[in-house]
Amino acid sequence: YRNRLNASREVAPVTLPNCQLIKGIESGSEDIDILPNGLAFISSGLKYPGIKSLAPDKPGEIFLMDLKEASPRAVELRISRGFDLASFNPHGISTYVDKDDTVYLFVVNHPYHKSTVELFKFVEDDNSLVHLETIQHDLLTSVNDVVAMGPDSFYATNDHYFSDFILMFVEMFLGLPWSNVVYYSPKEVKEVAAGFYSANGINISPDRKYIYVADVFDHNIHVMEKHANWNLTHVKTLQLDTLVDNLSVDPHTGDIWTGCHPDGLKLFYHDPENLPASEVLLIQKILSEQPAVTRVYADNGSVLQGSSVASVYEGKLLIGTVFHRALYCEL
């Protein structure tokens, strides 16, 4: 159990020269997705079983940053009427740009300890999200992250087999590899990959041939080949020495950026005297025999606690966290 959580691992600090905490984001920035035009969506306010929340009574939010601006700032997006904002508990997110340039935002949501995927349309003119649909399914039991495949289809990771908190803990403690990846479309819903300890972040290669899945408790990233029937087959596994959370893919280079937890025990047993650390890895040429892994950023929790995502756009880096602040850096 301690091994899966990487307990007692320390990381040497790696600082970046041009970083600042993002104003207005105080209670998490769990996932970040950046459009080709530099607009970054940030999910905030996740309440997750066993993990600290700095604003337990406040609904979740989606923030937007325009990374083309000289000094970008975070703006909360308005959400259309009729959506249950009070129970909004956003987790992983993914964008899809349609042929007519319509931007769809998929948001994993945990209202009332359930798992749904909310589908929104982004309206740039008035910084708002129009809610289109709430997606629920028996196979979407404990959803962590999604990657959009079309305007109404996606792959999703279930990070646990069980959705009950006590059974989730037992599953994690016993190390049961019962977590999976599900493909969802209005016509078909099916399991497409299984056998993970805790499937977490998921993303797609720029050529759309490969799906990447982070297994947070197995400290690795799986490369899966995507087939015409949407099934996935295992290609290779990149083993790392940290708990890998969300995955972002640079659309130009294919590089993978990931926010990681050096010591997962600190994340679950939050001690103000021994804060959860942050770590950002850059993985280049993951399909080659010798992928290059670079530690771009590491902090002992004094600046940033519990990093969960890192995403780049034209020399600008955003680092998000499960429950804490968010960092904007110029590389």
Question: What are the two backbone dihedrals, phi and then psi, of residue 93, each rounded to the nearest 5 degrees?
Answer: -135, 160
Alpha carbon of 288 to those of 209, 218, 219, 283: distances in Å? 15, 21, 19, 11
Residue 203, annotated ligand binder? Answer: no
DSSP result, 59-111: PPEEEEEETTSSS---EEPEE-TTS-GGG--EEEEEEEE-TT--EEEEEEE-G
Task: Specify the CATH number for the domain of residue 220.
Answer: 2.120.10.30
Using the structure block, give the residue that is written with the tokens 């990070």. 159
Residue 144, annotated ligand binder? Answer: yes
Question: What are the two backbone dihedrals, phi and then psi, of residue 3, each rounded to the nearest 5 degrees?
Answer: -65, -45
Residue 164, annotated ligand binder? Answer: no
Tell me how far apart the alpha carbons of residues 126 and 80 are, in angstroms, rounded to a whole number: 11
What is the model's pLDDT at position 37? 97
Residue 30, annotated ligand binder? Answer: yes
Tell me how far apart the alpha carbons of residues 252 and 235 are, in angstroms, rounded to a whole number: 22
Q: Are 219 and 239 in contact (CB under 8 A)?
A: yes
Q: Which positions are catalytic?
A: 91
What is the model's pLDDT at position 217? 94
Strand partners, 94: 106
Tell me how far apart the alpha carbons of residues 319 and 86 are, in angstroms, rounded to a whole number: 26
What is the model's pLDDT at position 169? 84
Residue 93, annotated ligand binder? Answer: yes
Greatest pairwise CA separation for the chain in angstroms: 51
Q: Among 191, 320, 193, 180, which residue's Cα sits nearest to residue 258? A: 320
- Tens place of pLDDT for every residue, the chain, 331 residues? 888 889 988 899 999 999 999 999 999 999 999 999 999 999 999 999 889 999 999 999 999 999 999 999 999 999 999 999 999 999 999 999 999 999 999 999 999 999 999 999 999 999 999 999 999 999 999 999 999 999 999 999 999 988 787 888 888 888 889 999 999 999 999 999 999 999 999 999 999 999 999 999 999 999 999 999 999 999 999 999 999 999 999 999 999 999 999 999 999 889 999 999 999 999 999 999 999 999 999 999 999 999 999 999 999 999 999 999 999 999 9
Domain span at residue 69 reads 2-330
Residue 135, annotated ligand binder? Answer: no
User: Would you say the pTM of this structure is higher than 0.85?
Assistant: yes
Secondary structure in 3-state letters for 209-233? CEEEEEECCCCEEEEEEECCCCCEE
Domain count, the chain: 1
Residue 200, annotated ligand binder? Answer: yes
Interacting residues of 63 by C-beta distance below 8 A, sequence separation 6+: 24, 25, 29, 41, 42, 44, 74, 75, 76, 77
